[in-house]
Amino acid sequence: MIIIEKPELQKDGKEVLLSTRFQVEGEHNILWYRFSSKFEDYLVTESLDASLVGLLFLGLKTGNDIKLNGPVSARLLYTINHYLIKALCLANNEFKEIKIIADSLNHEDMNLGSTAGTGFSCGVDSFATYFSHSGEHSPFDIKYLTFFNVGSHGDFGGEKARKVYQKRLRSVNTFAEKAGKKVISIDSNLSEILKLNFQKTNTYRSASCILNLQKLFKNYYYASSFPLDQFNLNSVDTSYYDLLNLSMLSTESINFFSSDIYWTRIDKTSFISQFPETYDFLDVCTNLRDEFNSKNCSTCDKCMRTALTLELLGKLHLYKNVFDLDIYQNNKNRYIGKVLGTKKENIFNKDLLRLLLKKRKISLIHYGYYSSYKYKKLKKRIRKVIKKNPNKD
């Protein structure tokens, strides 16, 4: 069994640590989240919602029921026990159906701030959410941007991931200062505890951070990764079924929304390119950037996909300060060949191929690169088979 205790606050200079003791089959550990002390009055210690959501996958992975030695949102306990656990087990057949047991229930609305926030990474999805909610009235207007260290900078955490988090945070802070928004950064050891692939758990990691701030946020927008017509339960990425996840993770105090779920990534890219604020801040790169001259490496798949989309939309020149356009152009034809070769398994490349065809930008050279890509992929597959069966004639 997993036993979770009530969270405790500990001041540490300009920061505050919210820590929760828990044990798994008798082995003790501590889950912690670190905040600026500016937000101390909004941190939730009366309920175990955040730690329950953060550690839920640990229970599903190990098959341990979860016992909460303290109150939990009545709504959250109901939705997790009756809907989410069953859905997550359908999504991943390696998970085991468990039960959440709570000492007591919290039926109260704890919210004091009556405001809204959204996660912000300077990527396409987060910029789309930010600008699509511009002009909303309270409590739906975005006043805070959040940035977490719970896996997106490295699946399993550690100091390397923390350094990447701190580096990326500087860019977020710079944009927020220019936009007149406040940033709430949250560091945590959740990744080190879960030891699970980030994409398989990403929605729940982020939601656990925000559930610590239910007193501040009445509404929270989680930028969608996939459009609604791609909804499906799977073990690869929780983002595919965020409409379910986020509605089930809402409580009496906070509403979660999967934002912009009717837009494709191309729709979002087109939308944000209308806003000059993105021209110097767009950051989609998956590589560490110390060795690059621009904000984005301009060679990884996300960089290539975004730059190609912007070029097809006639907007790439506006982003010359964040992409190395020479590097991009040198790799463009090869990447289009890869788009041709991955159109069936990658929804983003499928949409991108439609745009390429619409703009009549496919030529013979791209089919040459497509053939090369498929050949290399086949060679890798053959090597794997030989490696698995080295002694077979």
DSSP 8-state secondary structure symbol assigned to residue 38: G
Give residue 290's pLDDT band: very low, low, confident or very high (50, 70, 90).
low
Q: What is the mean pLDDT of residues 147-162?
A: 71
Note the pLDDT of residue 390. 67
Task: Return the domain boundaries, the chain.
Answer: 2-259, 278-379
Note the pLDDT of residue 391. 61
Number of C-alpha atoms within 13 angstroms, CB side, residue 370?
14
The percent of residues in the chain predicted with pLDDT above 70, rounded, is 95
Give residue 371's pLDDT band: very low, low, confident or very high (50, 70, 90).
very high
- The secondary structure of 59-87 as a DSSP string is HHHHT--EEEEEEEEHHHHHHIIIIIHHH
Residue 329 has pLDDT above 90, yes or no: yes
Give the global pTM.
0.92
Pair 223, 118: CB distance under 8 Å: yes
Residue 230: both structure tokens together: 């791609």
Comparing CA positions, the residue from 233, 252, 258, 288 lying closest to residue 79 is: 252
Residue 148: both structure tokens together: 């977490």
Note the pLDDT of residue 156. 55
- Give 193's contacts (C-beta < 8 A, 6+ positions apart): 29, 31, 55, 58
What is the spatial distance between Cα 328 and Cα 319, in angstroms, rounded to a whole number?
A: 12
Give residue 6's pLDDT band: very low, low, confident or very high (50, 70, 90).
very high
DSSP-derived pairing of the beta strands 217-223 and 115-119: parallel
Q: What is the mean pLDDT of residues 32-51?
A: 96
Task: Tell me the per-residue pLDDT of 70-121, one tens digit each, with 9 for 90 and over.
Answer: 999 999 999 999 999 999 999 999 999 999 999 999 999 999 999 999 999 9
Note the pLDDT of residue 289. 56
Residue 141 has pLDDT above 80, yes or no: yes
The overall average pLDDT reported for the chain is 93
Note the pLDDT of residue 160. 76
